[in-house]
Chain A
Amino acid sequence: MQSPINIEQQLLADLARGDRKATEQVYKQYYKMVTAWIQQNGGSEADAADVYQEAVTILFEKAQSEDFRLTCKLSTYLFAVGKHLWYKKVQQLQKRPGALPENFEDEGGDVAYEDDINSHHERELHYANLDSALGQLGEPCRSLLKAFYQQDKSMQEIAAEFGYTNPENAKTQKYKCLTRLRKIFYGVQANGN
C-alpha cells in the first residue's frame, strides 16, 4: 500500500520523463481548480489555461533535478505557483495596482515557489537566447541542429535527409554547426547580460 505522497512522487517521476499518461492525469486533475481561481480573479479562460500550462511546465522542469522531492501535495504546488504567476502577470499588465492582495502570504513557504518561478524565468530567458542564436545560424546548420535536438531524429535519418553519404559525415557536420552556434550563443549571452 503506497501512501498518497508516494503515489504523487511516482506520478511526478513519470511526468518528468515526459510520459503522456502521467502528464495528462496531473493536467486534468488540477485544471479546474487552478483555472477557476484565475478566472475569478479577472483572467479570461485563455489566460487561465496559459498560466496553468506555465505552472505545469515549472513543475516539469523542477522534477528534472534528481534530488527533487515533493514537500507538499501536487495540488498545493500547482495552485500556489499558478497564483503567483497570475499575480505577476496582472502586475505586468498593470491592470491593478502593484500591491498583492492582503491575504497573499497565506500558505507559508511561498518564498520557495517564488524561487522556482524566478529560476524558471531565468531559464526561459536562457532558452530564448539559445533559440535566437539558432535563428541566426545559417542553413543547413539550423535545420540540422533542430532535426537532431528538437525533432529527436537519429544521425542516420539526418544523413539521409540532408544528403550526407553516411551518419559519420553528418555527425562531423553537426559538430561544425555546434561550434558556430556556440560562438553566436555566447556572443548573444554576453550582449544580453
Chain B
Amino acid sequence: MAIENNIWKLAEMHISGEMTEVERIALEMRLQNDPIFAAELQECINMLRSLNGSARQKRFRSMLHDIHHEQGRAAATKEPRTISLRTHYRRIAAVAAGIMLLASTGTFWAVNTTTSKSVSQYTKLRKEVDNLKRSQIEQGAIIKDIKSTTEKAANTPAIEARISGTGFAITNDGYFVTNYHVTEGADSIYIKDNTGKYYKAYLVNYDAQTDIALLKVENKSFRFGKGEIPYSFAPKKAALGSYIYTLGYPGEDIAYNEGYISSRNGYQGDSLQYRLELPSRQGQSGAPVIDNKGNLIAIVSGKETQSKGTTYAVSSMALLKLLQDVPREVRMNLPKANKLSRLSREEQIEKMQSYTFSVKVYK
C-alpha cells in the first residue's frame, strides 16, 4: 500500500512541479530502468490531469451559467429590446420626369442598445418619401393636384409625406393603430383611405418598446366604414404554422400578401412578436396580420434585413395591453363580434379594405 501511495505522491509532485533536483533525477533514473513503473506513473498522471481538467471545466461551465442568468436578469430589469438608435442611409431613385417628385426609399437599421457592437438584422418597414428640391413647376402641379382632391377632402396636406406606413381601424369612430416608428418625430399625421381622401390624425398613446402607436382621426364625425370593425383581436397567441394574410400600402394602392407563422417568437426571441414567412415591403409597417378566421393576430413591424420573406410582427397581446393602458377619458368601444369568420378570403379582404389605409407622416 505504501508503494501505491508513493506513486500518487510522485504523480502529484510531477504535475505541480514541486520536485527538488535530486528527486527529479532519481525519478528519471527509475523510470528508465523500470518501464512498467513508468507506464503506471504515466497512467496516474493522466488520471489526475483528467480529474483536474474535468473539475476546472465544471467550474467554468457553472460560471458561464451564472453569467448567463445574471445577464438574463439584467436584461429583464432593463429594457429587453428598445429600438431607438439608428443610422439611416437613403437611396434615391429617380422616378420619371414630369410632375411626380423624386421618390426615395430609406432603409432603417435599428440597433439593439444592449448590443452596441453587433449590427442588427432588423429593418423597419416604413417608407420614406423624399421631398427634396422642388421646382416651381412641380409645386404648381401639386397645387393643381390638391385642387382636384379638395372636393373630396377638406384638409389635404400641402406637401408630400416624408414617411408612409399602414394603419388599421380599432373602432369605427376614428381610433386606429400603426407602428410607433412610423409616427416617431411627426409634425403632423394624416391617413389616406382607399378612395384617396386625407384625414388628419393625432397620437393618443404609444409604446416605443413594442413599437405600437394608437391614433385618432381628428374629425369627430369621421367613420371608417358603414358598420363596426369586422375583425376582432386574438386574445392569445396563434399557433405555429397558422396561415395568415395582410393588407398594406407599400405604394399608393392597397396590396395583399399571404404567408404563415414560422415562429411564435420574433426578433431575437421576442415573445411579444411573431416571425412570419410573409413577403413585405417598405410602407407596410403597421399593416394588420389576419388569420383564416378573420382574427387580428399581429401588426407588421419589421423584417429580417438579410432575407426576402421573413417579416416580424407585434402580437395582438401587445396591442391589447396598450389599449388597456390608455387614459380613462379615452372611450373606445372595441369590436366584440368577428364578422369575417364565415366569409371567404376574398370577401374578408373586401370588408377589410375600408378599415385599412395608408398613414402619411410629415416632419
Contacts and interface: CB of A to CB of B under 8 A. Distances in A.
B61 to A, nearest CB: 6
A130 B112 contact: no
Interface residues of B, number: 37
Contacts of B304: 40
Interface string B247-282: 000000000000000000100110000000000000
Interface in A167-193: 172, 174-176, 178-179, 181-182, 185-186
Interface of B: 1, 4-5, 8-9, 43-44, 47-48, 50-61, 63-65, 67-68, 71, 112, 114-115, 117-118, 121, 265, 268-269, 304
Given A28-B71, A32-B115, A57 B64 contact: yes
Contacts, number: 100
Contact of B121 (A36, A56, A179): A36
A78 interface: no
A101 to B, nearest CB: 13
A176 B8 CA distance: 9
A178 B8 contact: yes
B63 A23 contact: yes
A179 B8 contact: yes
Contacts of B60: 18, 23, 57, 60
Say what secondary structure dominates the interface of chain B: helix
A23 B47 contact: no
Interface in A73-129: 123, 126-127
B47 A182 contact: yes
Interface residues of A, number: 43
B57 A172 contact: no
A39 B51 CA distance: 35
Given A36-B268, A39-B269, A27 B67 contact: yes
Contacts of A31: 71, 115
Residue of A29, A145, A149, A185 most packed against chain B (CB within 10 A): A149
A126 B5 CA distance: 25
Contact of B54 (A60, A130, A152, A178): A130
Given A32-B115, A130-B51, A44 B269 contact: yes
A75 B349 CA distance: 48
A53 B65 contact: yes
A179 B3 CA distance: 11
Contacts of B114: 32
Interface string A11-34: 000000010100110011101110
A27 B64 contact: yes
A150 B71 contact: no
Given A32-B118, A182-B43, A18 B64 contact: no
Given A36-B118, A56-B64, A175 B58 contact: no
